[in-house]
Structure formats: C-alpha cells, structure tokens
C-alpha cells in the first residue's frame, strides 16, 4: 500500500471529467482552497447523505473560500443524474479507473460485512491555496462527516 498523504505534502495533480463532461485540473485551482472528497457510489444511501450534507453546507464553505469537489468511479452521465436529483451545487468528478483514488490513497482493502474487499476508502482532503495538503481524513463515516469537517475548519455548525 502506498503511504498515506500527510499535511504539508503536495496534493497529487490530476485532470478528471466533471458531471458536465468538462475537464477539471486540480493545479488550475491554485489560489483557492479545495475540499476533495472521495465516495464509493452515487445514489447509495451513505453517499447521498454525505453529498447532501456538503450541499447543505456549501454556502458557509464557499464563504470561507473553499471549493468542494466530489470524486467517485461513477460515469459522467451517472454523476450528472446524481447532481440534478440531489441539486448539488459543486462538481462531481469521474475517476473510472480509480487512478486518482490511488494517488490519494483513497483506494485499498477494507472490511465490508466481515469480508475483506478492495475498493473506495471514503476519504477527504483539505488542500490549501498553494496546492498542499492541509488536512486528511481517511475512512470517514458518511453521516456527520461534514459537521466534523466544519468544526475542524473552524466554521460554525449549520
């Protein structure tokens, strides 16, 4: 397994297609703070809860200067449906071969109903305006994650 990213590390650059089919390149967001979160699959209960929590916190996150990006292995078409159904105001990025997941060590072995499987490790990274990792959150829970993140970022609860 690749070593996990640590605060101070340069965030791995990437270019992925968003839910509109447009290319999003992390290094082009320099000068902005980014919250990059990896989730297993659109339309599943936990992932929908997490996405809606980010949606409901989008105004204070944006006001504090954060750009939220969600990443999954879903197709661009499925991400567009998810965005529209849940009225998500932030880009969802498609990483079908999980290469970006791996670069962020958000892919690996995990326990699922008592079995060891390989898949998405629900993880979030806060990236500073210089492109460096500010905070890492590995193996997060879908429920309550955004509230915990807001607290760590010093933002008032919703």
Give the catalytic positions in this structure.
47
The answer to whether 58 touches 25, Cβ cutoff 8 Å, is no
Q: Considering only CA atoms, which of 56, 36, 21, 59 is closest in space to residue 128?
A: 36
Give the CA dihedral 71, 31, 148, 80, nearest 10 degrees: -30
Distance in angstroms between the alpha carbons of the first and the last residue of the chain: 37
10 CB contacts (<8 Å, ≥6 apart)? 131, 132, 133
What are 35's strand-pairing partners?
Answer: 68, 126
Q: What angle do CA 92, 95, 99 make, to 5 degrees?
A: 140
């Amino acid at each position: 397994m690749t070593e996990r990213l640590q605060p101070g590390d340069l965030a791995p650059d990437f270019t992925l297609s968003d839910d509109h089919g447009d290319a999003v390149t992390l290094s082009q967001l320099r000068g902005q703070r980014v919250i990059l979160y990896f989730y297993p699959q659109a339309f599943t209960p936990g992932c929908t809860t997490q996405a809606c929590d980010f949606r409901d916190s989008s105004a204070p996150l944006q006001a504090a200067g954060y750009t939220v990006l969600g990443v999954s292995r879903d197709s661009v078409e499925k991400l567009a449906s998810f965005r529209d159904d849940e009225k998500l105001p932030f880009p969802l990025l498609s990483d079908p071969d999980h290469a970006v997941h791996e670069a962020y060590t958000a892919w690996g072995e995990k326990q699922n109903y008592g079995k060891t499987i390989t898949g998405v490790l629900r993880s979030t990274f806060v990236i500073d305006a210089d492109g460096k990792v500010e905070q890492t959150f590995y193996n997060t829970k879908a429920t309550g994650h955004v509230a915990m993140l807001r607290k760590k970022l010093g933002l008032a609860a919703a």
